[in-house]
Chains A and B, each alone.
Chain A
Amino acid sequence: DGGITQSPKYLFRKEGQNVTLSCEQNLNHDAMYWYRQDPGQGLRLIYYSQIVNDFQKGDIAEGYSVSREKKESFPLTVTSAQKNPTAFYLCASRETGGNTGELFFGEGSRLTVL
C-alpha cells in the first residue's frame, strides 16, 4: 500500500543531542513537508521541499535542518539549537507543490527531551 512512513514513533533525547526523524513516501509525490504540533495546538510548518535537492524554510525553521537527496525521503534533524524540541512531528507529502491539493500525512514521531 502507498503511504508515508515515519520513524521512530517515539524518541527520547538528552539536552544537547541532535536527533534525526525519518520520513519515507512511496506515493511518487514531488512535495514533502515537516510540521510541528504542540499540545492543543494546530500545525506549524518547519520546512518543505517541492523537488529533489531543493527545500525552503517554513515558519519555525530555527534549530532544524533537512535534506532532500531522494524523492522518497525527507529526513528532519532536530539540532541542539532548538530550544524547546519536545513536540509531535508530522511529515506530509503532496503530489505537486503549491497549496491547492490535499496533504497525505504520516503517523507522526513524538520527541521528548529529558
Chain B
Amino acid sequence: SQQGEEDPQALSIQEGENATMNCSYKTSINNLQWYRQNSGRGLVHLILIRSNEREKHSGRLRVTLDTSKKSSSLLITASRAADTASYFCATGEKPTNTDKLIFGTGTRLQVFP
C-alpha cells in the first residue's frame, strides 16, 4: 500500500534556489526517512527523523515532521545541478517490528545550471 504522497510530483528550479518537497502519510509512524534516486540507479538514504523529533538538519538538507498533520517536508538549500534526482519519503509504521518501510511516489527535481 502506498502511504507517502509527495508533493509536488515534479519541480524545476535554477541553481542556487531552494527546493521544498512535501510528504503526507496516513497512519501512525515511528520514523520517516528521505531517500534520493538518480535516474536508473538505486536509492541513497539522506536523513531519518523520528516521530518525537520536529526538525533535523544534515548539511544543506532540512527536514521537518508534523505528526499532528501527518506530514513532512524536505528543504534543499542553495541547490546545485547535481541535486537533480527523484526524492522519496518512506515511513516506518508502528509497531517497529513490522519490518516495512512504505515509500511514496516521489518528487522529480530538476535543477538547471
* Chain B residues packing against A (C-beta within 8 Å): 1-2, 4, 30-31, 33, 35, 40-45, 48, 50, 88, 90, 92-93, 96-101, 103-106
| Pick from B33, B35, B90, B99: contact of A98, CB under 8 Å | B99
How many residues belonging to A are interface residues under a CB distance threshold of 8 Å? 31
**A105 and B44 in contact, given A42-B104, A59-B1 (Cβ under 8 angstroms):** yes
Task: Name A45's closest neighbour in chain B (CB-CB).
Answer: B100
CB distance from A9 to the nearest CB of B (A): 9
Residues of chain B with a CB closer than 8 A to A108's CB: 40-42
Please determine whether B100 and A90 come into contact, CB atoms closer than 8 angstroms.
Answer: no
Closest 4 CB pairs of A and B: A99-B92, A105-B42, A42-B103, A102-B45
Task: Name A50's closest neighbour in chain B (CB-CB).
Answer: B99
Please determine whether B100 and A99 come into contact, CB atoms closer than 8 angstroms.
Answer: yes
Asked if A106 CB lies within 8 Å of chain B CBs, one says yes
Residues of chain A with a CB closer than 8 A to B93's CB: 99
CB distance from B113 to the nearest CB of A (A): 25
